[in-house]
Amino acid sequence: MTRAQSATPIPVVLVLLSFLSPTELSLYVEGLRLPPHRVALIALFPFALMRLITRPDVRIRLYDLMFFLFGLMTVGVFVYHTGGHEGFVYGGSLALESVGGYVVARAYVRDYPTMLATLKALFWTIVAAAVIALPETLLGQIFTHELLAQITGYVHPIGVETRAGLTRAYGTFDHPIHYGTFCAAMFALFVYAERTTTSARKLTVFFVLATSLGLSSAPLLCLGLQAGMIVWETSTRGMPSRSSLTLVVLTGLYIGASMFSNRSPIAFVATGMTFDSWTGYYRLQIWEHGMNNVWANPWTGIGLAEWERPWWMVSSTVDAFWLVVTMRQGIPSFVVLAIAIALLGRAVVKRSSRNPDLRMRKLMQGWMMSLIALCLIGATVHYWNVLYAYFFFFLGLGGALADPRRAPAPAIVSSTQTSNRSRSAMPGPRGPTHEPVFAHPGLPYGRMADARR
């Protein structure tokens, strides 16, 4: 990773460490189990929220309000369905993971050096996760969860699954898919933070190897999507109207796949780009019957009730983040979340188009590529527990790109003061008539604007 010029904020470090902490290390408060990442967010959320509201270099944007609204709707939906304590605890836990993860990143990562420092800390967190996962893949034993189950007495459900003669590693996470997605999620952002092609290539090799330890198709697809976008972006630089060209190419690929395949493009990805074709087919069935539940309960969803499906679909698991949100919380909650993410992405793109600093534009490109990949695989992976908070933490990092720290504007000088200074000034050549409003030493974020009156 590129050397950071600023220290990683302590709250960010604590959150990253909590992501790496196994669920067996949970705290129990009057029968309520609090995993490490929830403990961290409970402790940090009030300070992060106060910082977000009171600091003059932060502007509360519409997308911020939409994320808060999504959290409130999450609590309200589950209180409506289950009532009282149970609904408040379950909905509040989800709201804490979403809004809390977002606010901590949004409040404490405010400029370019801090972003690089955060990425450096996150990189070493992924390295630690891979080091823990490697012996599980090679030796066929889920060491971390088995050891902690003996120490703590809490038994997390695990299963030893092998693919291509290797074992799917859990590491410190709840599932191999979660481990793989944790490694792959911000690949493009890491690549665009590097200054040299050689460093980016070395980083790519590491991320491929680390992600592969989970032997899960969805994280590898996430990695492949970002790699494809990076290749396309680098190969079309300088090409006029490349955004339009990209849309034309994607549309052509979709139409071509629809015409020359007996499966829809979505079905092809679900069943053909997986290690197990049955897993892909089952996910298609989840979507088909899950949407039936959505249309039957469009406004407030089904809450924590069992979703209706054929008898042969024994597992109640729904491997699709977007479907789970819509099915359990209703279409309005999904729409609010989608609008919040769309507004945040639009703000990042808008600031990128007018940012004079190449390093910042590259970071924005990388973040957008990671966002697109995470949104796409959210159709085949459910983000829950650590991964849920991690997804919203990533969204919060977008705030440092869409709404960077600003230097205070220069004080307004009265006409009397101006005339007095003019009379006392020594004769000489006149300087520029306009001063930059958002100039910030060492910080290439700010748009250089003219202080016109």
Residue 206's Cβ-count burial label (10 Å; 0-12, 13-18, 19+) is: middle
What pLDDT does 271 receive?
54
What pLDDT does 129 receive?
97
Label each residue of the chain as H, E or C.
Answer: CCCCCCCCCHHHHHHHHHHHCCHHHCEEECCEEECHHHHHHHHHHHHHHHHHHHCCCCCCCHHHHHHHHHHHHHHHHHHHHHCHHHHHHHHHHHHHHHHHHHHHHHHHCCCHHHHHHHHHHHHHHHHHHHHHHHHHHHHCCCHHHHHHHHHHCCCCCCCCCEECCEECCCCCCCCHHHHHHHHHCCHHHHHHHCCCHHHHHHHHHHHHHHHHCCCCHHHHHHHHHHHHHHHHHHHCCCCCCHHHHHHHHHHHHHHHHHHHCCCCHHHHHHHHCCCCHHHHHHHHHHHHHHHHHHHHCCCCCCCCCCCCCCCCCCCCCCCCHHHHHHHHHCHHHHHHHHHHHHHHHHHHHHHHHCCCCHHHHHHHHHHHHHHHHHHHHCCCCCCCCHHHHHHHHHHHHHHHHHCCCCCCCCCCCCHHHHHHHHHHCCCCCCCCCCCECCCCCCCCCCCCCECCC
pLDDT tens for the chain, 453 residues long, are 545 457 899 999 999 999 999 999 999 887 788 999 999 999 999 999 999 999 888 889 999 999 999 999 999 999 999 878 888 999 999 999 999 999 999 999 988 899 999 999 999 999 999 999 999 999 999 999 999 999 998 888 888 888 888 999 999 999 999 999 999 999 999 999 998 889 999 999 999 999 999 999 899 999 999 999 999 988 888 777 676 777 777 777 667 766 666 566 555 555 555 656 667 778 888 888 999 999 999 999 999 999 999 999 988 889 889 999 999 999 999 999 999 999 999 999 998 888 788 888 899 999 999 999 999 899 888 999 999 999 999 999 998 889 877 655 444 444 445 445 444 444 444 444 333 333 333 333 333 333 333
**pTM reported for the whole predicted model:** 0.86
Domain ranges across the chain: 10-402
What pLDDT does 20 receive?
96
What pLDDT does 193 receive?
92
